[in-house]
Amino acid sequence: MPTVIVESFIRAIERHDLDLALTYLAEDCDYDNVPMGSVKGRDGVRATLAPFLGMFDTIEWVTSHQVSSGSADDGVVMNERLDRFHSGERWLELPVAGLFVVRGGQITLWRDYFDKETLLSAMATLG
């Protein structure tokens, strides 16, 4: 099932293991962070995520609903999540809907939908 790949990717992000997380992505993957823009390839994902994730001591992506179709070689996963990021004494919480397309056992498309203003307002409270 493609869920194994997506959930392994998420667990690596939560452990702050970006190097491992990137191995679940195809070399030429598309990461479309819808309200913020898209990047291509593992290097683009690293450049986008490393500074952001590095701001937080704890990361939790809590999946409330998830559906998938296909196999680990050719499938799709859609989930609804609450992405939680802890820094100092504060939690930043962001409701997210995610789409992951898996081809050849790797994520070739990762698209997250969320409200940009919710993110920016929460970031402002981190000080």
pLDDT at 22: 98
Residue-averaged pLDDT of the chain: 95
pLDDT > 80? residue 126: no
Number of domains in the chain: 1
pLDDT at 125: 81
- Which string of b and e fits 37-76 if b means at least 16 CB within 10 Å? eebebbebbbebbeeeeeebeebbbebeeeebeeebeebb
pTM of the entire predicted model: 0.94
Out of 43, 57, 112, 115, the active site residue is 112
pLDDT at 124: 85
- Distance between CA atoms of residues 83 and 18, nearest Å: 16
pLDDT at 6: 97
Mean pLDDT of the 30-38 span:
94
Q: Is 112 a catalytic residue?
A: yes
CATH code of residue 7: 3.10.450.50
Out of 19, 57, 83, 115, the active site residue is 83
pLDDT digits (tens, 9 = 90+) for 96-121: 999 999 999 999 999 999 999 988 88
Domain that holds residue 117: 2-126
Q: How many CB atoms lie within 10 A of CB 101?
A: 20
